[in-house]
């Protein structure tokens, strides 16, 4: 059975078991390996992507659930001209990644948070990020980077995604 959906603005049709998790379709059928497998049971956040702009765990999302929908992965987070998303730059500035394994999931959750709430409190950040586990313990730097981006975006820097038909600002 085929499923058609949009990934980072490109229309994709895959012919796979409709119960196959979106994570493995992204990695195996579409060669988008930035989205990581950690636990497979929605407990670590490593596999987080956006589905219609909402952060979701792709390891427990059957591909049939995204039929006709917009999926954004870490590969689609920057602008179409190749600029980093402001949060990606903040991640670099604050030296957030250590081993890096959790980081695409962290960024997908953080960008979804700022799209909904451009100036989150520490409590808002903790609530939104609580499902993303970092074995390197970079939680303090993650919070700093989100706060720095929220301040920057409040002044002059828009937050953008390169998702066709979805214009998060
Ligand atoms: S791999 Fe999906 S939440 Fe851990
Ligand atoms: S940077 Fe290593 S698990 Fe998060």
Q: Which ligand 1 atom is at minimum distance from the Cα of 40?
A: 1
Ligand nearest to the CA of 102: 2
3-class secondary-structure state, position 5: strand
Each residue's pLDDT expressed in tens, for the chain with a length of 169 residues: 899 999 999 999 999 999 999 999 999 999 999 999 999 999 999 999 999 999 999 999 999 999 999 999 999 999 888 899 999 999 999 999 999 999 999 999 999 999 999 999 999 999 999 999 999 999 999 999 999 998 766 544 445 544 444 443 2
> Does ligand 1 have an atom closer than 6 angstroms to the CB of 45?
yes
Assign domain 86-155 to its CATH superfamily.
[2Fe-2S]-binding domain (1.10.150.120)
pTM value is 0.91
| Cα(168) to centroid(ligand 1), Å | 25
Q: CA-to-CA distance for 95 and 82, rounded, in angstroms?
A: 21
| Cα(158) to centroid(ligand 1), Å | 29
Assign domain 2-76 to its CATH superfamily.
Beta-grasp domain (3.10.20.30)
How is the chain split into domains, by residue range?
Answer: 2-76, 86-155
């Amino acid at each position: 059975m085929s499923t058609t959906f949009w990934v980072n603005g490109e229309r994709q049709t895959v012919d796979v078991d409709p119960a196959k998790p979106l994570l493995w379709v992204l990695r195996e059928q579409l060669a988008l390996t930035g989205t990581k497998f950690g636990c497979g049971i929605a407990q670590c956040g490593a596999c987080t992507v956006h589905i219609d702009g909402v952060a979701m765990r792709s390891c427990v999302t059957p591909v049939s659930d995204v039929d006709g929908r917009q999926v954004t992965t870490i590969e689609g987070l920057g602008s179409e001209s190749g600029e980093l998303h402001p949060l990606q730059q903040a991640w670099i500035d604050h030296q957030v990644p250590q081993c890096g394994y959790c980081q695409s999931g962290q960024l997908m959750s953080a960008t979804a948070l700022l799209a909904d709430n451009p100036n989150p409190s520490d409590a808002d950040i903790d609530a939104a990020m609580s499902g993303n586990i970092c074995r390197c313990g970079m939680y303090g730097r993650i919070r700093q980077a989100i706060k720095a981006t929220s301040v920057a975006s409040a002044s002059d820097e828009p937050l953008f995604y390169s998702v066709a038909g979805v214009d998060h600002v």
